[in-house]
Amino acid sequence: MGSCKNCNSTNLIVDSVTGNLECFSCGVVQDFNNFEMQTFNADGPVGTNVRLGSSGSRYHYSYRESKIYSAQNTVSDILLRLDLEQRSDEVNNMIKLVTEDEYGAGNWFNVLVGACVYVVMRKANKVLPLTSVCDSVSCDIYELGRMVSRVVDHLDLKLPDFDIVGLFDRVFKEWVTGRSNIGKDLSGRMVKQGIFLLQCMIKWYVTTGRRPVPVVVAVMVFVCELNEVEISMDDLAGQLNVAVVTCKVRYKELLKRLVDVARANLPWGDDVNLKNIMKNAPLVIQYMEVKSMCDPGKETISVEDIDADLDCLVNDCLDREDESLVVQDSGRNESQGSSDWEVEDLERLKVSPECLSAIYSKYMEEYSKMKTLMKRGDNTKIGSSEKYDFFVDTTEYWSGDSELSKKLFLDKILEKDVGLNAMPPSFVNGCLKTQKIKEKIKAATIRIEKIRQPLLAAKRSKESDDRLPTVKSRKRKKIDIDWEDFIIETLLLHDVKEEEIEKGYYNTLLDLHVFQAI
């Protein structure tokens, strides 16, 4: 057995736990002498396994316990970054259900924690953008989105709809807190305008299938420009971790929708475009707000129905005028009045400034009555004795009385009329793309016929040219042919149906009909 290296005593004993030799007299552990060679075969290690080490006295941790301890620290760290420590129990319970109480280690576990945090917040109807979670767990939005889908499918959950209005309110409040030049009245007005425009974009399907954060950025920038508040789209997009290019696209789509409203409803709408829409935006928004407050079940007032009663106005004016100040029109005696006055008749009259002032005052009274009726929501058709024209007050274009300035459910938003019923942009773009492919198919068919049947193609071309007016020109027609035209020609030569080509899946059609046939 040997002797103790400290006291040279031969009274040595073997520890039953560690298997090491210890001196019974002084208690000194002797040199390690119980090592056993580990051997391996095809089935794994053979022999005595080495015992895991211990951390501190009387505490022995296994691999599983160490892994769980490290994972819980990771969860706490991510929740601390997101300022959601109060949600730790809910997130830990969800992670236990997903991993079957095993937790995990590695980069994938960070993504899982971020996905569970997002799902917990969505279940509680709290706003938390995916981009904010991505920044905390150091992953891209696509990886996090796939993990969220896997968690939802695994737990068989049904998440509520994303609250884009709540997101706008949260982002606006966070942005306003650092601004001292925005008063309480102005901030409240901007919030209502932003909610109004956001719900209009929902009605116009601009938010359908799109990420909500770029839409919020676009509306915030527009509202700030409308109220002459300085803001940078680049800074706001960087703060919310979204691409600036996407925000600019959503901003342009918002401007296009406002241009469509102006062209469809305003008298000068044909002159409104993307360049001058900001100057016309107050009037467009006022029209949309008044239109949304109208009852769709009642008959609305049109311009033709609310023309002013010129007969009454001119007769009142003529009663005040001296006969020497009014020139008699040919075939009509204005002093006696007439029941079929028109606007063009006023151009043939020479009226004194006093009479014009009286007409103007009369019109202003009727405009004020009309504005009061429309604010009450009384938009029923007015009789011929009470005809008014639409009055626009350019000084105060926003009242904030519309229900669209408050958060509404989707069915209520779709019921509102804001002067434009638009189709989803993706659907419109798909229709335009299909029409473009149809034109390319038609042109490719003509080129193929010119080669296969040149005489018949020349005859058809001549007949079509005879129908058109002759124009002398020495310039040749320039035909632009790109790679898409060559692919369409190839597919047509392989007898692919035009209906299949119109869908635009060229690679799939080439694999099925061209490359497999070689």
Please compute the mean of the pLDDT values over residues 404-412 and round it to a whole number.
87
Question: How would residue 146 be classed by pLDDT, with cut points 50, 70 and 90?
Answer: very high
pTM, two decimal places: 0.62
Range 97-105 average pLDDT: 87
- Written as six digits, the tokens of 423 are 């189709």
Residues 503, 154: Cα–Cα separation, whole Å? 34
User: Between 109 and 392, whose confidence is greater?
Assistant: 109
> What's the confidence (pLDDT) of residue 30?
77
Helix (H, G, I), strand (E, B) or coil at 14: strand
In angstroms, the CA 194 to CA 465 distance is 55
Contacts of 110-114 with C-beta under 8 Å, sequence gap 24+, read 110/74, 110/78, 110/137, 110/138, 110/139, 111/137, 111/139, 111/143, 111/144, 111/147, 112/147, 112/151, 113/74, 113/75, 113/78, 113/137, 114/78, 114/139, 114/144, 114/147
Average pLDDT of the chain is: 77
3-state secondary structure of 58: coil
- C-alpha 94/C-alpha 82 separation (Å) is 17
Cα separation, 189 vs 133, in Å, equals 30
Query: What is the spatial distance between Cα 8 and Cα 23, in angstroms, rounded to a whole number?
Result: 9
Better-predicted residue by pLDDT, 295 or 283: 283
Q: For 162-220, how does the pLDDT look when each residue is reduced to its tens digit (9 = 90+)? A: 889 988 998 898 888 767 778 888 888 999 999 999 999 999 999 988 889 999 999 99
Please tell me the predicted confidence (pLDDT) of residue 322.
45
Distances (CA, A) of 428 to 215, 498, 500, 502: 19, 21, 19, 15
Distance of CA 5 to the CA centre of its chain: 79
Give 329-367 pLDDT, tens digit per residue. 444 444 444 445 555 555 555 555 666 666 667 666 766
pLDDT at 429 over 80: yes
DSSP 402: S
* Burial (Cβ within 10 Å: 0-12, 13-18, ≥19) of residue 355: buried
The token pair at 211 is 């990420």
User: Does residue 59 carry a pLDDT above 60?
Assistant: no
Give the number of other CB atoms < 10 A from CB of residue 223: 23
**Which residue is associated with the tokens 């290690």?**
45
Span 440-453, mean pLDDT?
87
Residue with tokens 């798909």: 430
pLDDT tens for 254-265 read 999 999 999 998
Residue 149 pLDDT class (50, 70, 90 cuts): very high
| For residues 469-473, average pLDDT | 51
The answer to whether 144 and 137 are in contact (CB under 8 A) is: yes
For position 395, what pLDDT does the model report?
A: 45
* Cβ burial, residue 445 (10 Å; 0-12/13-18/19+): middle
CB 160: neighbour CB atoms within 10 A?
A: 9
Q: Give the lowest-confidence range in 114-128, 174-188, 307-321.
A: 307-321
Contact between 509 and 501 under an 8 Å Cβ cutoff? The reply is yes
In whole angstroms, give the CA distance from residue 187 to residue 194.
Answer: 10
With 0-12 CB in 10 A as exposed, 13-18 as middle and 19+ as buried, what is 204? buried
Please count the CA atoms within 13 angstroms of the CA of 436 that sit on its side-chain side.
9
Residue-wise DSSP of 166-209 = HHHHHHHHHHHTT-SS--HHHHHHHHHHHHHHHHHHHHTTSSTT
**What is the structure's pLDDT at 79?**
92
**Average pLDDT value for residue range 324-330:** 41
Cα–Cα nearest to 491, from 228, 483, 32:
483
Distance separating alpha carbons of residues 346 and 414, to the nearest angstrom: 44
Q: What is the pLDDT of residue 57?
A: 45
